[in-house]
């Protein structure tokens, strides 16, 4: 019975996605999604899979007040795990500027290793840009890497990325705008052909 219900839900979601959600137009939703540390680390592991960066693993450790620690285990011999501190510098604004900006610091004063580590990360995945002390995340580009998240992208009206101890919290407002009840009308100049000059 559960398997049959899952099939129905999956078919319904597929239908809604293919129809651009027009059958539920006018819907609004506000969501608060706390993502626990184990799930965060699983998602990061998927992102690292197949990349040539000298990184064995990244342990994501969210804290309160927009702070995140990353414990980065590298493949270089005799180099200890690197501790990178992140703070949320700027929240995305949809749709005008859907960019999340993080300030990063390599804790421990390992300047030479930091330069080598940063150089080894390039090229970065699509949607991620390193700009000096800042990491710039282009949310639409990142979401377009997955067909399911890309389908939700046009309906995001607000997205905030917050942190709590051990959790990353996403707060988002979604709205599916109803189609206009009136067909788009042509302007009068487009409806009528240009008048010919009257012969003299």
pLDDT digit string (tens) for 46-77? 877 777 777 888 899 999 999 999 998 888 88
Predicted confidence band of residue 112 (pLDDT cuts 50, 70, 90) = low
- The pLDDT assigned to 108 comes to 62
Average pLDDT, the chain: 80
With H, G, I as helix, E, B as strand and everything else as coil, classify residue 106. Answer: strand
Instruction: Indicate the domain borders of the chain.
Output: 29-175
CA distance 143 to 135: 17
Q: Are 135 and 161 in contact (CB under 8 A)?
A: no
- Which strand ranges, in their side-by-side order, compose the sheet holding 99-107? 55-62, 67-74, 82-90, 99-107, 134-138, 128-131
């Amino acid at each position: 019975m559960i398997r049959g219900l899952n099939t129905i839900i999956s078919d319904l979601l597929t239908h809604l996605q293919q129809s651009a959600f027009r059958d539920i137009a006018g819907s609004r939703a506000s969501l608060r999604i706390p993502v626990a540390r184990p799930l965060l680390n699983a998602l990061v592991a998927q992102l690292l899979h197949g990349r040539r960066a000298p990184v064995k693993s990244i342990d994501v450790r969210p804290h309160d007040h927009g702070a995140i620690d990353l414990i980065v285990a590298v493949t270089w011999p005799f180099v200890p795990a690197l501790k990178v501190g992140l703070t949320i510098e700027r929240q995305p604004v949809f749709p005008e500027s859907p960019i999340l900006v993080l300030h990063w610091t390599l804790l421990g004063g390992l300047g030479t290793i930091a330069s080598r580590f940063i150089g080894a990360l390039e090229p970065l995945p699509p949607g991620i840009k390193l700009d000096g002390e800042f990491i710039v995340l282009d949310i639409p580009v990142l979401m377009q890497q997955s067909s399911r998240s890309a389908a939700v992208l046009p309906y995001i009206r607000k997205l905030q990325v917050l942190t709590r101890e051990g959790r990353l919290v996403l707060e988002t407002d979604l709205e599916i705008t109803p189609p206009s009840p009136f067909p788009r009308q042509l302007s009068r100049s487009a409806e009528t052909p240009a008048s010919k000059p009257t012969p003299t």
